[in-house]
Amino acid sequence: MSNAQTWQPDDYRRNAGFVSTLGLPVVDLLAPQPGEAILDLGCGEGTLMERLRDLGCRVTGVDASAEQIAAACARGLDARVADAHALPFTAAFDAVFSNAALHWMLNPDAVIAGVARALKPGGRFVGEMGGAGNVAAIVDALVAGLDRRGLDGRAALPWYFPTPAEYRGRLERAGFTVTAIDLFPRPTPLPTGLRGWLATFAQAFTARLPAAEHAPFLDEVEAAVRPVLRGADGGWHADYVRLRFAARRTG
């Protein structure tokens, strides 16, 4: 995850509270059973952990953000700061679950290897992340804005958005059997508009610029994507594309 990115639970709730709600179908795909030990990888402030706990699971959460983990612990959840590229668990979980977090982890093979290690034999890995083409209009505008300022916009990208074939290959090479993997568009309304979304998620780009340049840069990004992401009613949506998968550790 990019060092420039920070997470403020209050801002996150306001600008991106939809993330957990829209993750509920991933919980359905997981089909959690009462008593199962489940790891929530990239648990954030723990909203979906709470859901899993309410379903009778024993849930542990990990996240890179100390602020988000503090918010999860304040809800009485078992959550701890950990680097997802070096998970400290061995044969501890019936399932690993992840919603809207894996695309922040730029060494996917290290993450998948740690997930395989953390699972009991036969354990499930079920998740959803941004897939190929995710937020493409926003990415193009952010990259172009940095390029125009003489910087390498692509080098600032903090996200990994794989195709199903690529992610399937990584899972299979790590000893998983993939039982489902799908890529689908999910245009997503933004409750606080594009600027709220950018404030929460685009810090890796603004961090490359002096503070005085942030507002003009974000104005340009907004103007570039307005024709495709702003509706006639003035509401904004983001051009999300999801990669959703379920796999079982068989190797």
- Residue 167 interacting with ligand BEZ (CB under 6 A): no
List b or e across 82-115, with b for residues whose CB sees 16 or more CB atoms inside 10 angstroms. bebbebebeebbbbbbbbbbbbbbeebeebbbbb
H-assigned helices in 4-65: 9-16, 18-21, 24-30, 47-54
Q: Give the residue with the Cβ less far from ligand BEZ, 160 or 176.
A: 160
- Residue 159 interacting with ligand BEZ (CB under 6 A): yes
| Nearest Cα residue to 145 out of 239, 225, 229, 200 | 225
Q: Least CB distance from residue 140 to ligand BEZ, whole Å?
A: 13
Q: Give the residue with the Cβ less far from ligand BEZ, 60 or 203.
A: 203
Reported as type and span, the H/E element at residue 119 is: strand 119-130
Residue of 7, 12, 160, 201 interacting with ligand BEZ (CB under 6 A): 201
Q: Least CB distance from residue 143 to ligand BEZ, whole Å?
A: 13
Minimal CB distance to ligand BEZ: which residue?
130
Cβ atoms < 10 Å from Cβ of 183: 19
- Residue 244 interacting with ligand BEZ (CB under 6 A): no
Q: Least CB distance from residue 123 to ligand BEZ, whole Å?
A: 24
Between residue 97 and residue 126, which ones bind ligand BEZ under the rule CB under 6 A?
100, 103
- Residue 190 interacting with ligand BEZ (CB under 6 A): no
Find the part of the chain contacting ligand BEZ (CB under 6 A) among 3-11, 24-32, 127-135, 140-148.
Answer: 127-135
Q: Least CB distance from residue 86 to ligand BEZ, whole Å?
A: 23
Q: Which residues pair with 150 in a beta bridge?
A: none
In one-letter notation, the amino acid at residue 54 is D
Between residue 128 and residue 157, which ones bind ligand BEZ under the rule CB under 6 A?
130, 134-135
Cβ atoms < 10 Å from Cβ of 244: 20
Q: What is the DSSP letter of 118?
A: H
- Residue 12 interacting with ligand BEZ (CB under 6 A): no
Q: What are phi and psi for residue 201, nearest 5 degrees? A: -115, -15
Residues near ligand BEZ, by CB under 6 A: 100, 103, 130, 134-135, 159, 201, 240
